A and B are shown apart, each in its own frame.
Chain A
Amino acid sequence: MQTLRASWFGFEKHWTWYRRNWRATVVSSFLTPVLFLLALGLGFGSQVQSTALIGGVPYLEYLAPALVVVTALQGATFESTYAIMSAFLWQKTYVGMVATPITPAQVLYGQMLWIGSQMFVRSAVFVGIAVVLGAAAGPGILVAIPVATVAALAFSAPLVAYSATLDKPDGFTTIFRFVMMPMTLFTGAFFPVSQLPDWLLPLVWLTPAWHGIELARGATFGTVGLLPALGHLVYLVALTAAGIALGVKFFHRRLAV
């Protein structure tokens, strides 16, 4: 109870910031889905013949739930890198927080709470826009909102933990280029992963993106069974939990030594 309250105060701080600065974030959270759905769904998608492999549905509808997931993952990547490093090193706001009754672990929980809720809002906005643009196959796409949030957290939590160990931001560019970008492109958002060489598949299965996309798309079209759905969810939650556990350790090492 105490922990929840303390974590909430960390969340509140972000909310205070957001109330002042939300206009700046609107551009990316509204514009990204509009651009992606227009260019890839309506534009590029108009040239794509629907096949049995993608379930015979229009490409735009095939794309939409997966785009919700990868957009949340991208957003979470940025929230989990420079912002975290700044709170340790540049602005040192975390250092200020742990001088109060708040513990390093609670600082982390508050941060994750904030990232999660932001990604939830961002995903909800995306789904709303998808509906307006006629990219939603049915009400099932609503499931993509919580799914994208959990998938984003599953990537964010380990990344936040990693960011807590760094002294300079050089590693981030590597993550953007060699983890985030391939994870966006090759985990089934734009084409079925069955098109990939077999040896690559185990790597794909490790990514939170693939699990999130399978789950979000499966829910949208009602094609995912209960057991596989549960499997995806368990994997994502486990990844989140492991990331947070690591984060607690690294936050403590960084702030309380």
Chain B
Amino acid sequence: MDNLVEAKALTKHFGSFEAVRGIDVEVRRGEAFGFLGPNGAGKSSTMRMISCVSGRTGGELKVLGMDPGTEGPKIRARLGVVPQLDNLDTELTVRQNLQTYGRYFGMSRQKCRAKAEELLEFAHLTDRADHEVEPLSGGMKRRLTIARSLVNDPELLLLDEPTTGLDPQARHLLWDRLFRLKQDGVTLIITTHYMDEAEQLCDRLVVMDGGRIAAEGSPSELINRYSTREVLELRFQPGAQKPDLERFADRVEVLPDRLLLYTQDGEATLQRVHEHGVQPVQSLVRRSSLEDVFLRLTGRTLVD
């Protein structure tokens, strides 16, 4: 079995609201797979169906080769779930959180104790082991949540917005932990609305928008397919009339505060724009990113 998740025409409705409108997804063993999209794109609803917590409205879904509708507990026994919002037991200690969670999977007390030690190490929380959870920092809580999700040695780890709300240092520490897991052969599914996170972590991803899949591929494939090599960003005085620069680039996106010129060579384009007498307040040449892919596909930016 090479696909850990197989979804066909998967839908999820809440009353008359269609959160997921027929998506096809395959997640292969050992890869890091991403759902990239803005808030409300249907990422979390999809994750909840894959984690066998919420039932599907229509379509087909197989997780670890089984049907979540009938074999939920059996599948969940082999999954790890990192929810969008921490749901740690804040009145228990760090160590107790890991141990009680292990018990939920039916592990022996002895096994839970040993596993907790190992995970404390992994999450860099050994010196906090006997502290209550409540006063920990956001980054520490997040690390504990991830450690907790590994208590049953899951084959498939689901992470819903794992680094939202964390400072850059805490994010990088988390990414490092996730890389280690990937190296150990754990299959990861990640939702995020951060394109840098998706680029860093994901082998393959789908861009979701309005409950549908807008594109699928590796980050570099998507960038090649939907964007140019480089982007020239030009910033003008607020309220100033933005010049028409269509003929200098393959494509131009007009954002409220700046122009994005899609081009193979940003510096050369900037040169030509200057020669043309256009004087932006600020200019920046950068590589194309998934943000540009998203903008191209949906006409909107990822993070408002």
Contacts and interface: CB of A to CB of B under 8 A. Distances in A.
Interface stretch (A56-64, A95-103, A200-208, A241-249): A95-103
Nearest to B93: A20
A208 B103 CA distance: 35
Contacts of A97: 104
Interface stretch (B68-76, B114-122, B201-209, B286-294): B68-76
Interface residues of B, number: 33
Interface stretch (A9-17, A162-170, A212-220, A225-233): A9-17
Interface stretch (B3-11, B82-90, B225-233, B242-250): B82-90
Contact of B85 (A6, A21, A92, A101): A92
Interface in A181-197: none
* Most chain A C-beta atoms within 10 Å of own C-beta, residue among B51, B93, B106: B106
A255 interface: yes
B87 A16 contact: no
Interface in A1-37: 5-6, 9, 12-13, 16-17, 20-21
B218 interface: no
A239 B231 CA distance: 68
Nearest to B82: A99
B55 A100 contact: no
Interface residues of A, number: 24
Contacts of B92: 13, 16-17, 20
Contact of B76 (A20, A21, A101, A257): A101
A93 B145 CA distance: 12
Contact of A100 (B88, B99, B101): B101
* Most chain A C-beta atoms within 10 Å of own C-beta, residue among B73, B91, B100, B105: B100
B44 interface: no
A175 to B, nearest CB: 24
Contacts of A9: 100, 103-104, 106
A97 to B, nearest CB: 6
A124 B14 CA distance: 47
B77 interface: yes
B163 interface: no
A95 B83 contact: yes
A96 B88 contact: yes
A98 B74 CA distance: 12
Contact of B83 (A12, A17, A96): A96
A173 interface: no
B173 interface: no
Contacts of B152: 100
Contact of B51 (A5, A6, A91, A99): A99
B189 to A, nearest CB: 14
B105 A100 contact: yes
A256 interface: yes
B77 A98 contact: no
A100 B151 CA distance: 11
Contacts of A20: 91-93, 96
Nearest to B145: A96
Nearest to A101: B73
Contacts of B90: 91
A99 B106 CA distance: 13
B53 interface: yes
A93 B87 contact: yes
A6 B101 CA distance: 12
Interface string B166-209: 00000000000000000000000000000000000000000000
Interface string A40-69: 000000000000000000000000000000
A255 B101 contact: no
B298 interface: no
B264 interface: no
A187 B27 CA distance: 61
Nearest 7 interchain pairs by C-beta: A92-B87, A100-B104, A96-B87, A99-B81, A101-B73, A101-B77, A13-B100
Interface of B: 14, 51, 53-55, 72-74, 76-77, 79, 81, 83, 85-93, 96, 99-101, 103-106, 148-149, 152
